[in-house]
Amino acid sequence: MSEFRAGAVRYLVTDLERSVDFYTGIGFLLVQQRGPVAILTNAALTLWLSGPGSSGSRPLPDGRSQRPGGSNRLVLEVSEIESRIAELERRGVPFRNTLEVGPGGKQVQVEDPDGNPIELFEPASGGGFHAASAGGQAPRSSRAVDTAISE
């Protein structure tokens, strides 16, 4: 089987500037913005925002349009999820659900300005689930996201 290297997560957005403001507000760094596309990073995660007119938002060959939203989502690992929830509530960020607790940890879903889902995930103490990086090692939590959400 072929090996893949981490690429990026692409989200379709209807207002590029509004989305760049949202993501930089929660801790992403704007790396490049050209035309209808912006590239942002946070630790080892790269996010592509594709606005109207971008090649990544063109209709599919069968005629279906590509739209923001859906259920597939970006997962951001955080610590102290309850305090992150409180801060996002103060900022007026829309929530898709309430805090869910399972054997692997705690999660809640919020939406960016275009309705794209973002999951905040806190692994269970003592061996909860972590998104594995290329070598099977769990990446360290992004302190930049934790810090930005709590500011």
pLDDT of residue 98: 95
Report which of 66, 71, 48, 49 is spatially closest to residue 119, judged by C-alpha positions.
71
| Higher-confidence position of 138 and 19 | 19
Report which of 70, 64, 62, 43 is spatially closest to residue 147, judged by C-alpha positions.
43
| Higher-confidence position of 129 and 117 | 117
Buried b (16+ CB within 10 A) or exposed e, 107-138: bbbbbbbbebbbbbbbbeeeebbbeeeeeeee
- Rounded average pLDDT over 114-122: 94
Report which of 90, 92, 110 is spatially closest to residue 100, judged by C-alpha positions.
110
Predicted model pTM: 0.75
Residue boundaries of the structural domains of the chain: 9-150
Instruction: Please write the tens of the pLDDT for every residue from 83-101.
Output: 999 999 999 999 999 999 9
pLDDT greater than 50 at residue 68: yes
pLDDT of residue 1: 62
| Higher-confidence position of 15 and 128 | 15
pLDDT greater than 60 at residue 19: yes
Q: Which fold has domain 9-150?
A: 2,3-Dihydroxybiphenyl 1,2-Dioxygenase; domain 1 (3.10.180)
Which long-range contacts link 59-67 to residues 24+ away (Cβ below 8 Å)?
66/12, 67/12
Residue percentage of the chain with pLDDT more than 90: 60
